Amino acid sequence: MVHVRGVCVLGLGLIGGSVLRAAVAAGRQAWGVTASQEDERGAQLDGYQVTPTVADALRRAADTDAIVVLAAPLPAVDELLRSVAYVAPEARLTDVVSVKRPVAQSVRRLAPDARYVGGHPMTGNSASGWPAGSATLFHRAAWVVTTDDTDDVELWSDVARLALDCGAHVVPAETAEHDAAVGRVSHLPHVLAAVLASVGADGGPLALALGAGSFRDGTRVAGSRPELVRAMCEGNRAGLLAALDDALGRLGAARGSLASTGSLGATIVTGHRGRAAYDQLAAMDRDKLVIRLDAPDALTELTELGRRGGRVVQLDGATALAEVPNPV
């Protein structure tokens, strides 16, 4: 019988607060801690367990061998890791930070004895804090669980099972590949939304009065708290720079074509195809695949599954039930 571990959430904002809610809804013992008095009051009023200090939360995690979830913005991770190293040095540790390489480096530097597997749920909204969270925030969302932070498949399964219990499906990925991918599909959109919002605002009241669906949808994430967006995007400097270089090259080509021939055909058609590819992958039939987690190459096979756009949808003992897109 699989042991259902408790969950200790360090940070109770949008994502951390939703992890706490979802873990409790899945029947797990779960508790959290936050530096925000407002979030602490909100969680307690809603009936959730909140400890007075980080040390209290971690002592309980150490005593029960619970999963510790780092759910604070990247700039706050190092301070939390120092507490982990002091109070629960061998904790089962994961995180929900949107960039993986800096977190993994900090774990190795500050809490080297922690049993760490990186995580990143691909969902959210432009609001923040405990009131913005929901037990259903992760339903049908992708949740990355890294495959190169540990060779302990049982530990990987612990983190993956938590993601599944929260309603997500698990996408296995290596740290560097995750950061490169989210630079393109998460962090670059934040930068482009900021640019679009400022360009629109510079058009004055008339331009803003005429802003409709394309402007509203394209600038939605620009409504997020600036300090959180900065921490996320600046933490993935290498991945975001590569994505920005690609985008700037395409924008430059579009401007050159518009100025010389008056045409934006290549840019518009290529973008249309990119969106179609996104929609097609989401709608594609998926083949079932069983991965033996007790096989010597299990983590390698999980990594390859993620590269193919596949996902783990269920864990059953030593097997993972996966789905992979079938292009036929």
pLDDT by residue (tens digit) across 238-269? Answer: 999 999 999 999 999 999 999 999 999 999 99
Q: Which residue has the tokens 């629960």?
A: 88
Q: How far is Cα 143 from Cα 148, in angstroms, rounded to an integer?
A: 16
Give the CA radius of gyration of the chain.
21
Q: How far is Cα 276 from Cα 229, in angstroms, rounded to an integer?
A: 28
Domains of the chain: 7-173 (3.40.50.720), 179-282 (1.10.3660.10)
Tallying the residues shown for the chain, one arrives at 328
pLDDT of residue 327: 83
Give which of 203, 215, 95 is closest to 145, Cα–Cα: 95
Tokens at 39, concatenated: 């979030």
Type of residue found at 109: R
Burial 273-282 (b: 16+ CB within 10 A, else e): eeeeeeeeee
pTM of the model: 0.94
DSSP letter (8 states) at residue 185:
I
* 8-27 residue pLDDT tens: 999 999 999 999 999 999 99
Local structure of 312: helix, strand or coil: strand
Q: Which residues contact 1 (CB under 8 A, 6 or more apart)?
A: none
pLDDT of residue 2: 64
DSSP 132-178: G--TTTTTT-EEEEESSS-S-HHHHHHHHHHHHHTT-EEEEE-HHHH
* 84-106 residue pLDDT tens: 999 999 999 999 999 999 999 99
DSSP letter (8 states) at residue 297:
T
